[in-house]
Structure 1
Amino acid sequence: MSERQPDPAPRPLTEARGIVKRYGPVTALRDGQLTVLPGESHALVGRNGAGKSTLVGILTGLTAPDEGTVSFDGEPAPPLADRDAWRKKVACVYQKPTVVPELTVAENLFINRQPLRRGVISWRLLHRQAADLLDTWDVRVDPRARTADLRVEDRQMVEIARALSFGARFIVLDEPTAQLDKREIERLFTRMRSLQRAGVTFLYISHHLKEVYEVCRTVTVLRDARWVTTAAVADLPRPALVEAMTGEAVLARGDVRPAPDATTEACLVATGLSGPAFEDIGLTVRRGEVVGLAGSSGSGKVQLAETFAGLHTPTAGTAEVGGVALPFGDVTAALRAGVGCVPRDRDEQGTVPGLSVGDNSTMTVPGRLGRYGFIGQKRKRTLARELMDRLDVHAQGPDQPVSDLSGGNAQKVVMARALASDPRLLVLINPTAGVDVKSKESLLARVDSARDSGIGVLLVSDELDDLRHCDRVLVLFHGRITDEYRAGWRDNELIASIEGVDRG
């Protein structure tokens, strides 16, 4: 009897080999490789600037490689101009939604291909087709709902359903959890697994390595525009993955230093603060102390932090910075009072895309750049260079457009601007969201150095790694502070408080 032959390896659903992409003198990708098997969830990771976006642009037909090949299910990729053929192969759901917010779900699903009767859109048929499509992929959204009114996770599922309606079974998810809290992330992962069982394959791009281990089977690492490794997630410990991404061994972080005692001068004192998203908040941040705010997306932590930065006016209560009453609802007045802020959304609130790195990093300190409303360009460039060196911003110089920078470097510019005014209180809202591992380390090092220089820091984050830099972490649940943890807390304790476990 002949021995049973092993099952042949499955044919890749998507394969890229020897990809090279140049933009003038810059080589954005010099050795791009990727092999994704049918039905898997495959992670693509690497620091900002590693070549991920370039590779995704080539995989989705937005740009052509200078060298190399891309194939789908063993067949060469379609010509770049054949958009219909590309839509049947692959789709990308980006961190920023591509749906039209003012249109309904049904209109977004079938935009530019609405069913017609006698040359007029048949709304009844459109809604029926949309409902059938959503039902097929178990997307529980009202097809008549205005897309702008949906939760972020539901908008993402609408985009996935739209891609699947063209026939694509390969979906690229680019930082899909950047705006989701823990519970929403879990629901997204549950939906991903359900879609995988239905024959959908995912390429998952994220800077959150914990998510890679939770939802992905295989991981491909890019570094310095080159392919480094592809391995089963189960066979690659986290330190080895970080080393592959950075080219450096992971060093253990020392213990957090003791927090300031009660006699240390207070930078921020809030008493009885209430607003639409929070109630009766009392907290103190002292000089040289980092205080974290943790909680789910509905906890009120972001709105509370934004209130101290002048973005909201509370309905009750007071706050003082350096012993002086903090004016509410006025960002400029908060800045004058000594509050620096890194806002929650780098693209929408943090940078002005049309301006340079120098303009963005110094716009909070015009008085240091000239007199009588005139800005001295030499002074601006000198200060900008100092800030760039201080924050390790990788850019051609102060005159480079901030929109040309990677996400990590753009976030460093936002941090530089917050520090430029020498604040008493630094408010940081998700300061490491959407940045690579190395940039994250650099930004968190700036948090530590701010503490060392005597600045009080209020840090809002959904990332446990960020919160480990805090001397204390306050947990908000339904708008109230319910727990406080000193440095050295355990993950399960903090997560249980955030989720309201055993709270009745």
Structure 2
Amino acid sequence: MTSSVKAVEARGITKRFGPTIALNGAEISITEGETHALIGRNGAGKSTLVSILTGLQRPDEGEIRFAGQPAPPPADRDAWRQRVACVYQKSTIIPTLTVAENLFLNRQTARGRINWRALRTRARGLLEQYGVDVDADAMAGDLGVEQRQLLEIARALSFGARFIILDEPTAQLDGPAIQRLFARMRALREQGVTMMFISHHLDEVYEICQSVSVFRDARHILTASVEDLPHDRLVDAMTGEATAAYEYRTRTADASAPVVLAARNLGLAGRFEGIDLAVRSGEIVGLAGSGSSGKVGLAETLVGLRKADTGTVTVNGTAVKGGDVPSTLRAGLGFVPQDRHHEGFVPLLSIAENATIPIAHKLGRFGMISPARRRERGDRMISQLDIKTTGPDQPVADLSGGNAQKVVLARALADDPKALVVINPTAGVDVKAKHSLLGAVEDAVDRGAGAVLVSDELDDLRICDRILVMFHGKIVKDVPRGWTDTELVAAMEGIDHS
């Protein structure tokens, strides 16, 4: 259901942050009733454009128009919400409020006292309308990543805006959840809702979008119909060059290498049970499965974010205290969490400060940190991981998603860990950043670390020497290197347990 009317137009948008030009004469035009992809590498200007399209930033030059009319004044937030809603990659859910309170924050009632029973009833109706299987009375802080994402989508849609921005909505969703989202997006499009879809997964662009705009180096590069744009031309527009496929390394497993991370009879009620695993030095072991398989819960238990009900975890020969992250770190484990925004870094601290948190005690004497030594280590990590930044003192909050993720990995590798647990390391990053992140994990393993890699991306799992497939909280298959997509997906869906 499309027309020739433009739901939104951005013309000649320029935005500067000090000496940095975030957008340079950029533009985008989206027709009513279509799903339009905005893609580009990290740092291309996508997030800045989103902040301008939602009225959070004012452009230095250029104009925004909705349905042919000028955008409202920046201070008129209600007028902006009537025109555009955004589901951000970084969750805006308030964890100390209930689901119902989050859905109707600042609009609990038109006047007078809040009718809490009516509010919960409205919330249940909204959740049912958008297929979100979450208790309206639950605390938002108890929700998983997928549930928080779906709650964000339901809340954005509830404002009634006819133009919705979805910023990396699939980055931390598994396959079935993505398909549920896409089904809802198709239904909304049939109702005339216009969407701008931001993703680093080009297959998703071809599956759900009708048109696409590419940004590179703060500029608009091209806009085209998806069906008329070959995949290789799209990649070339994003990168300015042909991007080579990742070269997966070959390793020969050493059965005599020491075990650096082990679990025995590990169990956590409602998530997994009877888990035994052993990861050797120089080995990458993958954990694969659906969102309900228990793979993320298992990984978080290995690092001490969760406390197991049964069993033990051993890191580099040391039995660690359950539910105690410092204990696992001291034993020699590095960790990249699933949600970098909430668990991966401190936004207002610098790159050097974030990346050296595990080794701060080694950067000075008598409890004092040497700023020079911290910056030196920060510079080294920036070089090793190719972090795009103005320098080690730049706040991580100012970085693009892919570069922020590199800082999280730099922190995990700072103390040369003997074991690594890495959860969805490439979620929401571009092709080149993905190659850098996977390469850094392989480098650590080549130096003698053992790694557990949890990912919803089959391409990420190809660096693994073997993959443990989880299904309903149990390991059902140990798949060696050389698997096919069909074989692995069948095991993940519980079709093949042989």
Q: TM-score, normalised by structure 2?
A: 0.90
Q: Does 1:230 align with 2:220?
A: no
CA distance, structure 1, for counterparts of residue 103 and residue 325 of structure 2: 39
**2:40 equivalent in structure 1:** 46
| 1:300-324 superposed Cα distances (whole Å, 9 cap, x missing partner) | 2122222222333333333434444
Letter in 1 for 2:276: G
**2:92 equivalent in structure 1:** 98
**2:404 equivalent in structure 1:** 410
| 1:214-251 superposed Cα distances (whole Å, 9 cap, x missing partner) | 22121111111011111222333433322221222121
Larger radius of gyration: 1
Letter in 2 for 1:183: P
In structure 2, the CA distance between the partners of 1:287 and 1:49, relative to structure 1 (3 Å rule), is same
In structure 2, the CA distance between the partners of 1:235 and 1:268, relative to structure 1 (3 Å rule), is same
Instruction: Note if contact 1:130-1:143 (Cα within 8 Å) is conserved in structure 2.
Output: no
SS in 1 for 2:86: strand
| 1:10-61 superposed Cα distances (whole Å, 9 cap, x missing partner) | 2222222221112232211003121212221111111221111111122122
> Does 326-335 or 349-358 show the bigger shift?
326-335
**1:5 equivalent in structure 2:** none
**1:192 equivalent in structure 2:** 185
* Cα RMSD for the two superposed structures: 2.9
| 1:358-405 superposed Cα distances (whole Å, 9 cap, x missing partner) | 221112123421233232232222222222222222222222222222
Alignment equivalent of 2:82, drawn from 77, 88, 109: 88
Instruction: Note if contact 1:14-1:70 (Cα within 8 Å) is conserved in structure 2.
Output: yes
Q: Does 1:353 align with 2:347?
A: yes
CA distance, structure 2, for counterparts of residue 23 and residue 265 of structure 1: 50
| 1:170-202 superposed Cα distances (whole Å, 9 cap, x missing partner) | 100112123322211111111111111111111
Spell out the pairing of 1:54-453 with structure 2 (5 A cutoff).
54-100=48-94, 108-115=102-109, 119-121=112-114, 139=131, 145-146=137-138, 148=140, 159-160=152-153, 162-164=155-157, 166-254=159-247, 256-276=249-269, 277-453=271-447
CA distance, structure 2, for counterparts of residue 138 and residue 311 of structure 1: 31
Q: TM-score, normalised by structure 1?
A: 0.89
SS in 2 for 1:365: helix
**1:24 equivalent in structure 2:** 18
Letter in 2 for 1:17: R
Instruction: Note if contact 1:408-1:434 (Cα within 8 Å) is conserved in structure 2.
Output: yes
Instruction: Note if contact 2:3-2:32 (Cα within 8 Å) is conserved in structure 1.
Output: no
| 1:265-304 superposed Cα distances (whole Å, 9 cap, x missing partner) | 3323333222332222222222221111111222221222
**1:4 equivalent in structure 2:** none
Letter in 2 for 1:228: I
Instruction: Note if contact 2:182-2:208 (Cα within 8 Å) is conserved in structure 1.
Output: yes
Letter in 2 for 1:437: V
CA distance, structure 2, for counterparts of residue 325 and residue 142 of structure 1: 37
In structure 2, the CA distance between the partners of 1:479 and 1:38, relative to structure 1 (3 Å rule), is same
Gaps (5+ residues) in structure 1?
Answer: 1-7
SS in 1 for 2:397: helix
Deviation at 1:207, TM superposition (A): 2.0
CA distance, structure 2, for counterparts of residue 376 and residue 326 of structure 1: 31
In structure 2, the CA distance between the partners of 1:162 and 1:268, relative to structure 1 (3 Å rule), is closer
CA distance, structure 2, for counterparts of residue 488 and residue 480 of structure 1: 23
CA distance, structure 1, for counterparts of residue 117 and residue 327 of structure 2: 53
In structure 2, the CA distance between the partners of 1:310 and 1:107, relative to structure 1 (3 Å rule), is closer
In structure 2, the CA distance between the partners of 1:140 and 1:280, relative to structure 1 (3 Å rule), is closer
**1:486 equivalent in structure 2:** 480
Instruction: Note if contact 1:260-1:287 (Cα within 8 Å) is conserved in structure 2.
Output: no
CA distance, structure 1, for counterparts of residue 337 and residue 136 of structure 2: 33
